[in-house]
Amino acid sequence: MSSIVEKTAVGQAIDRVEGHLKVTGKAKYASEFPVPNKVYAQGINSTIAKGEIVSIDTSEAEKQEGVLKVITHQNAEKLKTFEEEPAAISTDSIAPVLQDHKVHYYGQYIGVVIAETFEQAQYAARLVKVEYRKEASPAIIFEKNKDKAYRPKESSDYSRGDLEKGLSEADEIIDAVYNTPIEHHHPMELHALIASWENGGVTAYASQQMVEDATIAISETFQIPQEKVRVIAAFVGGGFGSKLKVERQVILATMASKMIGRPVQMTVTRHQMFTNTGMRQRNEQHMRIGAKKDGTLTALAHETLSHTSINEEFQESCGMVSKMLYKVPNNLVTHRLMPMNLQTPFAMRAPGEATGSFALECAMDEMAWKLKMDPIDFRIKNDTQTDLSEDQPFSSRLLVECLRIGAEKFGWEKRNMKPRTNKEGNWLKGYGVSAASRNSPYKETHSKVILKQHKDLVEATIKMDATDIGTGSYTIIAQTAAEYLKIPVEQVSVELGDSDFPVTPGSGGSWGAASYCNGARAACEKALQELKKKLNIPEAEEVPVAELLQKNNLMEYEAEGSAKPSEEFEKHSVYSFGANFCEVWVDKDTGMWRINRMVNVGSAGRILNPKTAYGQIIGGLTMGAGMALAEQTRVEPNFGNFITRSFADYHVPVNLDLAQIDVIFLPEEDKIANKMGIKGIGELGITSVAASIGNAIFNATGKRMRDLPITPEKLITAPLEPGVQA
Ligand code: MOS
């Protein structure tokens, strides 16, 4: 399935084609469009977690200079609401807001102020007086709501074989619970949009990952035809999942524009990014693993408990990874949710794998230690080329190669299996490893190519509604067009992020690169094909595109193409794989840690641009390090507000926290995945990073840290694992 990539336009480490636009400030992000006559909206957030609004007094706010309107549930437009609650939500779900007087979580929007300036709107928002009837016991403490856990409507439960039998056949069993806290995405660009309502429809300059789904969500919420909604998301400053679906501010600004008849800009504050733009919920993952003395797995159970909101249902399927990663005959995966008075969680980078692989890959390390086996050998022993959960082969799977090559690069042979043996002064040093896998979807994508002749040069423009969320979409699409049209990259321009352009699945779930590039490829191939056909030139014959236009007497030519998954694709499980290695030092007295180095090896199909691909992986590793060691959103247990509400108290890693990072891509082309051999890498980088760090910390200290983040205070008070010598 794999072959070495040849040297072409695709595969070169070129600079970002839109780089100069970004560094000169010409790339327009949502709130930067100079829409004339625009005004500003500021959302008002509830200050209770559960209850009802008894009254809202907006009179003082309305008197202020520049204030145009205050919208609350008393005067809001009627929108489509959920038919039943909790509603299972997705990337194109409706987002009703201000439709009644009920409050389900702290920070919920209860109103919005529209004013001529941003400052006027902010000031007036503080003058709105709200009287609540507060319910005494909101559901905000995870541990106290376990009796309400239910099986979600769209259940992801799974089993094969007989788990109890598998456990009874085992020589050793690991039975452990792993906790991951609430985390927030926090892209650099705040959620923002400018909505302009005109002629019964809206143009929204929005910071969204998925343009088509945003048009669906807006049109459904307002009950207008989809053609009446135009979404423009030309540049998006990061998303990480928080911009997959439309959040309430998109609807609020649109509603405000409709009500006052002027364009409305709404940019949320960093504080509101905690309460109004989704989050990763807390997960409690119960792992049970059984293995024979020789390392053969006999049983694997992965059971997750998390929370959702009162009126919407979202589940992160943490156990997915435990269905497919190893050859284990007896397998059980369950997922339960508790409705809680917190905002609805949603997908955050590698939903399922990021958290699930922390539990699985730590538990695998615990088992390897119990079996006195090298954790790499243990994983290799249980490798499989068949996805047992789907009973079909992987399109390609180079996990063993990732582990072996990584081990060599990292110097794994120097590791001592016994914890607390590698020391230097006060530092305890540890080595950790983990395996990574991430589903690599590929979705139907449409694209247009416009060819223009300038003297004897041909310039091409590619258009599609794809987004570039900082990942490099513009660049890899330009490289693809250059490759298939056989023209230099400099002669290609790419226009993205407009719902008037051909439909793509948008950026999410690591399907962007494969889908966008194959869509662009199809359009270019179509153009060449049609131009040859007009001249009766056989399809296989190579003719320069300039010559084709000239011979056809055409100055300009336009074609549309589309690509979608093949039958072969459907008959295989398509995943990217990887291995993470890290060296962590822990101060034996203070518990302070540092990551000394990381090695990541990825097998992710054809690498379109090593520079942008590298950016994705180091971003993922950094986010994984944050997840392991620092990131957590804390809930105040009485009021239900988040007490971490800025970067001063929600800690993310900085350069100094990540010393040396080596990223290696194995040369690979997966032709079953798609014609161009591409697989996803956007989420592979974060996957299982936290486990490799946790495992390194065990190797350093002899302490099993099963609750993230692994803060120094937790580390210093944690007990030594039984059998470890101090
Ligand atoms: Mo991703 S969590 O699908 O942006």
Token output for 621? 């590793």
Give domain status of residue 495, yes or no.
yes
Q: Are residues 476 and 535 in the same domain?
A: yes
Share of the chain above pLDDT 90, in %: 97
The model's confidence at residue 4, banded by pLDDT at 50, 70 and 90, is very low
Q: How far are the Cα atoms of 94, 102, 199, 246, 319 from residue 89, in angstroms, in the given order?
A: 8, 20, 29, 11, 19
Ligand 1 centroid to 244 CA: how many Å?
Answer: 7
Q: Which of 510, 541, 564 is the last residue of a domain?
A: 564
Ligand 1 centroid to 669 CA: how many Å?
Answer: 24
The model's confidence at residue 208, banded by pLDDT at 50, 70 and 90, is very high
Give domain status of residue 202, yes or no.
no
Share of the chain above pLDDT 70, in %: 99
Give domain status of residue 619, yes or no.
yes
Q: Are residues 367 and 431 in the same domain?
A: yes
Q: Are residues 554 and 587 in the same domain?
A: no
Ligand 1 centroid to 156 CA: how many Å?
Answer: 18
Closest by CA position to 75, among listed 51, 103, 56: 56
The rounded distance, in Å, linking the Cα atoms of 340 and 326 is 34
Ligand 1 centroid to 184 CA: how many Å?
Answer: 13
626 lines ligand 1 (CB under 6 A): no
241 lines ligand 1 (CB under 6 A): yes
Q: pTM for the full model?
A: 0.97
Q: Are residues 514 and 658 in the same domain?
A: no
The rounded distance, in Å, linking the Cα atoms of 92 and 88 is 11
508 lines ligand 1 (CB under 6 A): yes
- The CATH number given to whatever domain includes residue 475 is 3.30.365.10
Q: Are residues 471 and 421 in the same domain?
A: no
From the alpha carbon of 240, which atom of ligand 1 is closest? 4
The rounded distance, in Å, linking the Cα atoms of 288 and 281 is 22
Q: Can you give the residue range of the structural domain that contains 680? A: 352-441+577-717
DSSP secondary structure, 15-54, as one string: PPTTHHHHHTT-SPBGGG---TT-EEEEEEE-S-SSEEEE
Q: How far are the Cα atoms of 127, 299, 322, 330, 359 from residue 167, in angstroms, in the given order?
A: 62, 6, 16, 8, 18
Ligand 1 centroid to 47 CA: how many Å?
Answer: 30
Cα 723 to the center of its chain, rounded Å: 39
What is the mean predicted confidence (pLDDT) over 198-227?
Answer: 98
* Strands of the sheet with 445-454, listed across from one edge: 492-495, 457-463, 445-454, 556-563
State which of 208, 243, 349, 681 you would mutate to test the pocket of ligand 1, scoring each by most atoms of that ligand within 8 A of its C-beta. Answer: 349
Q: Write the pLDDT tens digit of every residue in 521-558.
A: 999 999 999 999 999 999 999 999 999 999 999 999 99
Q: Which of 521, 537, 564 is the last residue of a domain?
A: 564
Give domain status of residue 298, yes or no.
no
Q: Residues near 485 by Cβ (< 8 Å), separated by ≥ 6?
A: 449, 451, 458, 460, 492, 524, 527, 528, 545
Q: Quick check: 2 pLDDT over 50? A: no
* pLDDT score for 658: 87
Residue 315 phi, psi (nearest 5): -125, 140
Angle at CA of residue 467, ends 95 and 500, nearest 5°: 80
Q: Are residues 451 and 381 in the same domain?
A: no
The rounded distance, in Å, linking the Cα atoms of 28 and 439 is 32
Give domain status of residue 708, yes or no.
yes
Q: Write the pLDDT tens digit of every residue in 436-477.
A: 999 999 999 999 999 999 888 999 999 999 999 999 999 999
Which DSSP state fits 680?
A: -
- Contact (Cβ atoms closer than 8 angstroms) between residue 282 and residue 307: yes
Q: How far are the Cα atoms of 371, 374, 433, 442, 708 from residue 420, in angstroms, in the given order?
A: 18, 17, 17, 45, 21
Closest by CA position to 508, among listed 552, 468, 479, 459: 468
Give domain status of residue 400, yes or no.
yes
Q: Are residues 581 and 696 in the same domain?
A: yes
Q: Quick check: 645 pLDDT over 70? A: yes
* pLDDT score for 500: 98
The model's confidence at residue 6, banded by pLDDT at 50, 70 and 90, is very low
Q: Residues near 454 by Cβ (< 8 Å), separated by ≥ 6?
A: none
- Contact (Cβ atoms closer than 8 angstroms) between residue 371 and residue 172: yes
505 lines ligand 1 (CB under 6 A): no
614 torsion bin: left (phi>0), alpha (psi -120 to 50), beta (else): alpha
354 lines ligand 1 (CB under 6 A): no
* pLDDT score for 7: 47
Cis peptide, bond prior to residue 709, ω within 30 of zero: yes
Q: Quick check: 600 pLDDT over 60? A: yes
From the alpha carbon of 243, which atom of ligand 1 is closest? 4
Q: Quick check: 1 pLDDT over 70? A: no
Cα 522 to the center of its chain, rounded Å: 27
682 lines ligand 1 (CB under 6 A): no
Give, rounded to a whole angstrom, the gap between the first and last alpha carbons of the chain: 49
Q: What does the mean pLDDT of the chain come to?
A: 97
Cα 523 to the center of its chain, rounded Å: 28
Q: Are residues 456 and 557 in the same domain?
A: yes
Q: What is the total count of domains within the chain?
A: 2
User: 3-state class of 524 per DSSP?
Assistant: helix
Q: Which of 507, 536, 564 is the last residue of a domain?
A: 564
Q: Residues near 611 by Cβ (< 8 Å), separated by ≥ 6?
A: 13, 14, 15, 472
* pLDDT score for 657: 87
Give domain status of residue 320, yes or no.
no
Give domain status of residue 663, yes or no.
yes
Which residues are part of the catalytic machinery? 683
How many Cα neighbours within 13 Å face the side chain of 49? 21
Q: Are residues 581 and 689 in the same domain?
A: yes
Q: Are residues 589 and 713 in the same domain?
A: yes
239 lines ligand 1 (CB under 6 A): yes
The rounded distance, in Å, linking the Cα atoms of 572 and 161 is 22
Q: Are residues 430 and 483 in the same domain?
A: no
- Contact (Cβ atoms closer than 8 angstroms) between residue 43 and residue 98: no
Q: Are residues 392 and 495 in the same domain?
A: no
From the alpha carbon of 509, which atom of ligand 1 is closest? 3
Ligand 1 centroid to 423 CA: how many Å?
Answer: 40
Q: Residues near 707 by Cβ (< 8 Å), separated by ≥ 6?
A: 178, 179, 714
- CB-CB neighbours of 345 under 10 Å: 28
The model's confidence at residue 659, banded by pLDDT at 50, 70 and 90, is confident
